[in-house]
Structures are given as C-alpha cells and as structure tokens.
Structure 1
Amino acid sequence: MPVAEARARRNAGRLTLIGRLLRLDWALVLLIGAIAGVGFLMLYSVAGGDLDPWSGRQMTRFGAGLVIMLIVAMIDIRFWKWASPLAYLVALGLLVAVEIAGETGMGATRWIALGPIQLQPSELMKIAIVLALARYYTWLSQDLVSHPLWLVPPLIMILLPMVLVLKQPDLGTALMIAMSGAVVLFLAGVSLWYFIFAAAAAGGAVWVVMASRGTEWQLLKDYQYRRILTFLDPEQDPLGAGYHITQSKIAMGSGGFSGRGFMQGTQSRLNFLPEKHTDFIFTTLSEEFGFVGSASLLGLYVLVMAFCFVSMARNRDRFGSLITGGLAATFFFFWAINMAMVMGLVPVVGVPLPLVSYGGSAMMVLLIAFGLIQSAHIHRK
C-alpha cells in the first residue's frame, strides 16, 4: 500500500495542465453555470427587463469567479492542505479587523474596505473553517478522534469566529459556520453521542436566549427577537415585522403550478417583495415560474450535491474527502436555509440563495469552494 500511494502521488504530481483540465468534473461546472444562469434571468426580471443594475454586474462577477475557480482547481490539493491553517488565521484576523474598523450598513458591521474592494470576512470563514478542521483531522490519529481532550481544539476553532460574527451581528452566518464545522466533525468520525449532547445543549441555549429578552443581559438584538416571534406567528404584525414573510408567501402561492410567466410577477414588479434581488429572489422565481420552476432549481442544487458526495466517496485522500463533504454541506446550508426562510419554515436570517442572489462576496466564496472541491477531485488518489 505505501508503494502504491507513493506511485499515485508521483503520478498526480506529473499531471500536466491539459491533464488536469481533462480530469476536471465538467458536469459539475455545467451545473454551476446553469444555476448562475437562472440567477441572471431572475435579476433581469426584477430589474424590469434591464441588465442594470444587477444582472450585468452579476454576469461579470460570475465570469471572474469562474476563472478563479479554475485556477484554484488546477493547484495541487497538497498546497491547500498546507495553506489551510494560514487561511483560517487570515479569515479570523479579518473578522477581528471588522470588529475594530469595519464599515456599517443596514445596522450591521460586517464589511471591511481593502482598497476599492468591500470584503465580508465572515463569508471567507465559511470556507476557512472547513479547511482548518479537515487539516486537523487529517493530522489527528483516527483512534483519538472522539477523545474529549482532542475535541477541545476544533470546538475552539468553531467558537472563536462564531462569537465574532454574532457581534456584527449576523446570526445566519454564525449558525452556518457552526453547522459546517459540525459536518466536518461528523465526517471525521466523532462519536454520535457528542452530537446528541450538543443538540440537547442547543435546546437549552435557545431557552436561555429567549429568557434573556428584556433583561440587562439580553443576548440578541431586538430585531432578531422580532424575527423569531414573526416566524412563530407572522399574522400578529402583518404590516410590520410580519410583512416580509407574508408578502413572500403570497407571491409563492400566486405562482401556482406553472407560474404567472416571465416578468409577470405582480408582487415583485410592484415592489411588495423585500430584498427581491437578494434574500427573497427565490420568491420571485416561484411567482413567475411556479412549482415547475422552483422544483427545477431545487433539482439542479440536488444534482450538484450528488456530484460532490460521489466525488467525496471515491476520494481515498482523507483531507480531500473531508473538504469535499464539508464544502458541499456548506453549499447545502446556503440554499436549504434560504428556501426554508422565504417559505416561513425558519426565521429570516439573511442567507442568500447560492449563485442566484445578487452579491459579490457570497458568489466568489462559493466558486472558490467549488474550486477546492475540483482540486480534490483532480488530484485524488
């Protein structure tokens, strides 16, 4: 086995650029392009049939991100394994920088200016946490994976960025960091009993958070409590806190089976929908293309997940397998939370629909993540 592994590594190192391009999972690239195409179409629609101000910019960002994805994919996975601790430290440092000198927008301090670029470091942490944990469990012996002492470092690695992101405040991203980290721990082989205990502790934490409302030690912002209460009963304030989710449900229901037609959605055209080009763009899709359009997009997302998990199962390299599973789970949390959010199944937490919602940071981070998945696929044993 050591001889075979050494030979496989030498062969991977000899791959030419053409060889790496041929080993690229082109079906996955086409699926990503198809999902992005849905986004371009919907952004064109919500702008009233104009490429400006959203669709044209989104196309440019996707083109640049696609090039970056291919560059990341061409680089040997062993480099990313070496660089993963550095990526985590850089992302953590940027989160600290946001706390010190971040820019505030819409009541939250989540961005930092790097020259002409507005960067949201919490998006980078979604990738960095998966890389760092995968590197840790690649280094750690398998018989120590569930040892309580060796669970402390990964828990600290997850909690540090969570606390910084919660202070911004950004509850949705903090939860995604925690869930992505938990997936890596699960795939690494951590005992299921820890997750059962964590679920029970999470239930207790929810009770504490709700009990703290109105006290001196209140743990969430007032608007976050309003979101939770609106989720539980949107009708209690249909013209206030419950307005957004109520309009979202009206739009989705009015789409019916086949929808009202492209650019014929009244809720979006008459500006009843909140953030119709970002967080609630799935509602516009449902109104214009109905159940057929919504199910088609969901099918594309499921196919992407299937390709990622097949690649993970076939990869005999532990680091490559862990990052593929972890990043695929991160992608899943993006679209699953967004869809559940606009349907009123979970509170509104501001998670964009991946590759469809307008935005630069989230799209670039997702394409880098897919580049890492492709790198693990190309350079697999």
Structure 2
Amino acid sequence: MNRTSSAVLGFVPEPLAQLPWRIILLVLAIGCFGLVVLYSAASGHIRPWALSQGIRLVAFLAAATILSRVRERVWTAVSFPAYGVLLALLVAVELLGKIAGGGQRWLDLGLIRLQPSELMKPCIVLACARFYQMLPPNETRKFSAIWPACVLIGLPAGLVILQPDLGTALMIAFGGVTVMFLAGVPLRLFIGGALGLAVAAPLAINYVLHDYQRNRIMIFLDPESDPLGTGYHISQSKIAIGSGGIFGKGFLQGTQSHLDYLPEGHTDFVFATMAEEWGLAGGLLLILAFFIVIGWGVSVAIHARTRFARLTAAGLASTIFFYVAINLAMVMGLAPVVGIPLPLVSFGGSAQMTTMLCLGILMSIDRQNRQQADW
C-alpha cells in the first residue's frame, strides 16, 4: 500500500488496509444473495439451508483473509506435500470412505465429513505450477515436461472417477490442464489430446461410465427422450429459467421450487431457482459479479512476478471459472448434468470451502504483488 493510502486509512491496521476490499465485499455480496435464494427455496425459512450456509460463509471468508497473509514461498513449499497427503486421502476414501447418495466420496472423521476431492481442485493447480516452476523454460516443449504433469493430474482424477464423481474429476483435470497450457506446452499436443478423447469417448461411455452417468449424456443429446425420468431435472430447470422472464416472478413467488417440481433447487440447480424469481436481470447481474471476481484473479496472474505465482493465480481463477461455466451450462441444458454446484450460492460447504481457499491464495499473491510494486 502506498503512503497516500496509508495516510487516508491511518486508523485502519495495515494488514486490513492491504486487503482487496472491493473483491471481498463483492464475494460477500454474492454469498449474501445466495442466502436470499436459499431462504426462498426453503419457502421463507432460514432453516435448513440459509442459516448454516451463512455461518460457513462468514467462517470461510475469515479463513480466506487469514490465508492472504501467507507468503508465496509457503505455498511453494507445501504444494507437493499437500498433493501427496490428499492423494493418500483419496486412496483412503476408496478403501474406507463413507457411502452416501450413491457415491463413496467422504471420510468420516467424527466431527466433520471430509471430501478430499474438493481440496484437490486447488491443490492440483499448486502442484502443477510448482512442477513447471522447477522445470527450465527451454524444457517446456519437450516430452519430459508433459508426462509428469499428466501423471500428477491423472492419478487424482482417476481415483475420483472411481468414487464415482465425474464432475469433480473433470474439474481437477481442467485445472491441471489449464496450468499446462499456460506454462507453454505446445498447442498441437492439446489438439492431439482432444482428438484422442473424441476417439476414446464412445468406448468410455459404453465401458467405463456408470449407468446413471451414461444416461445423463444420452439425455443431454436428446433431452425430450425421457422427460419424466432421467431428463426430468433438465426439463424442469429450463421451465423455471424460462418462466422467470426478464425481471422474474418476484421474491418468494417461484412455483417450480416451492411446489417441488425442481429437484435439487437449493444445490446444483440453485441458478434455476434464482432465475425464476429474479429473472434474466438477476441472472446477468450474478454472472457479471462472478466474472469481475474471475477477472480480478486473471489480473493478479498478469501482475505476478514469479512463474509459480503466475501459473497458480491463473489456474485458481480458471478453477472458479469452470465452477461457474459448467454449472450454468448444466442447468441450461448446454452440458450433461455432472453435479457441479454454483460457488457461494449453492447450498453445501465443500464448494464454498474450495472457492474461499482459491480466493485466499489469490489474495496472498495479490498482496505480494503490491508489496513488490511498492518496493
């Protein structure tokens, strides 16, 4: 922080004055709007969703501000050890994990249920960024720069697919591949990889995916084939979003969620619940708020002074982007339903924790950027 700002904010402790308050307040506004939507989804009650979500919002936001004080060298030092611990926990989930909702994704630790796959989303970014920081720049276009990163990404993604949790596995893969691309891995390799996936996709659909995952893809390709069965979620989501019009039906006036036509209206399909009551205007404002936060993360990456900080900031910003983009595409019928929540809005602590962890690390890098600029 410069001397002029320090003079203006002399009554504010320096650690607080250094925080990016515009982004913090915007994140808080998104979270509070999510509480309003959850309050409406519960027909005007703070339980069972809004109250607990609000408590977590305050706690995780406070934790993010504490993480902003961590120096870059700490993130560099813990990236590989944290990756190793989380990989071991993913193996433990496969062996000892708690089964709920048709998936084996949690470790029951008594006081809390830990979902290691959520923590792996930011951790894979840190690990890949650390790998490419250690690699000499002239080695980036060689095969030795590709296969270790593919192993780093493939191991956790494969373990998460076994849970089964295709959406989280895709998020882990997208985060790691984004760091690979930004590190300078040749574009032709990504094109070749995409063509390979296109060839392997039919085999994976028929022999690797579970029945419910295969049905979701088939319904995405033909939504009207089973409107009262597998396609029910998408059909009701489209009805809810379309019926909201430009300005929505009004707060607490939604019918799809209040009459229980819209399944998971407080989690994966919370955007449809919001759009029915707040309309296109509310949806666009929410999307704009998210993209301001993501744009800030990209700006942090642009101004970073080290390779690790640049790759980490860009990877974490892309992780938040994938959260938002995949969820919106899912609820609008533009992508298969893969169980990705809308960060800070959907009910649930896992995505909220992951998003705040990403923001905390971004604020840490941003603080170091500004300190170096002042020096």
What is the SS of the residue equivalent to 1:138? helix
Identical-residue share of aligned pairs (%): 48
Cα pair distance change 1:20/1:77, threshold 3 Å: farther
What is aligned with 2:211? 222
Q: Does 1:361 align with 2:353?
A: no
Distance in 1 separating the partners of 2:362 and 2:185: 22
1:147 corresponds to 2:136: no
Partner of 2:4: none
Determine the structure 1 residue equivalent to 2:245.
256
Say which of 233, 239, 242 aligns to 2:222: 233
5 Å-filtered alignment, 1:110-129, equals 110-129=105-124
Normalising to structure 2: TM-score of the pair?
0.94
Unaligned runs of 5+ in 2: 1-11
Deviation at 1:27, TM superposition (A): 1.4
Name 1:346's counterpart in structure 2. 335
The correspondence for 1:242, drawn from 198, 220, 231, is 231
1:329 aligns with 2:329: no
Residue 298 of structure 1 corresponds to which residue in structure 2? 287
1:138–1:318 CA contact under 8 A, matched in 2: yes
The TM-score normalised by the length of structure 1 is 0.92
Q: Which among 263, 271, 274 is matched to residue 285 of structure 1?
A: 274
Write the deviation string for residues 18-54 of structure 1: whole angstroms up to 9, x where unpaired: 4443332211111111110111010000011111110
Residue identity in the other structure for 2:340: V
Once the two structures are superposed, what CA deviation does each residue of 1:251-291 show, in whole Å capped at 9, x if it has no partner?
A: 11100011000010000110100111100000011100110
Cα shift at 1:115: 2.3
User: Equivalences for 1:1-381 in 2 at 5 Å?
Assistant: 18-210=13-205, 213=206, 218-380=207-369, 381=372
Aligned residues: 359
Residue type at the aligned position of 1:95? L
RMSD between aligned residues: 1.1
User: Do 1:102 and 1:111's aligned partners in 2 also have CA atoms closer than 8 Å?
Assistant: yes
Structure 1 residue runs without a partner (length 5+): 1-16
Equivalent residue of 1:267, what SS?
coil
- Counterpart contact for 1:227–1:347, Cα < 8 Å: yes
Q: CA–CA distance in 2 between the matches of 1:144 and 1:28?
A: 37
Q: Is the 8 A contact 1:255 1:288 kept in 2?
A: yes
Counterparts of 1:31 and 1:77 in 2: how far apart (Å)? 24
Q: SS at the partner of 1:235?
A: helix
The amino acid that maps onto 2:98 is: E
What is the SS of the residue equivalent to 2:263? coil
Residue type at the aligned position of 2:220: F
Secondary structure class of the residue paired with 2:106: strand
- Superposition deviation, residue 367 in structure 1: 0.5
Equivalent residue letter for 1:365: T
Deviations 1:105-159 (A, max 9, x none): 1111011112210111110000110000111111111000111122111110000
* 2:197 counterpart SS class: helix
How far, CA to CA, are the matches of 1:238 and 1:82 in structure 2? 51
1:4 aligned residue: none
State the one-letter code of the partner of 2:142: H
Q: In 1, distance between residues paired with 2:283 and 2:103?
A: 31
Q: Which secondary structure state, in structure 1, belongs to the residue aligned with residue 105 of structure 2?
A: strand
User: Secondary structure, in 3 states, of the residue corresponding to 2:113?
Assistant: strand
State how far apart, in whole Å, the 2-side matches of 1:251 and 1:224 are.
24
Contact 1:20/1:378 (<8 A) preserved: no
Q: Tell me, what secondary structure is at the counterpart of 2:300?
A: helix
Find the counterpart in structure 1 of residue 5 from structure 2: none
What residue identity is the alignment partner of 2:363?
Q
1:201 deviation in Å? 1.1
Counterpart CA distance in 1 for 2:241 and 2:328 is 11
* Structure 1 residue 205 displacement after superposition: 1.7
Do the aligned residues in 2 keep the contact of 1:180 with 1:326 (CA within 8 Å)?
yes
Q: How big is the shift at 1:77?
A: 1.4
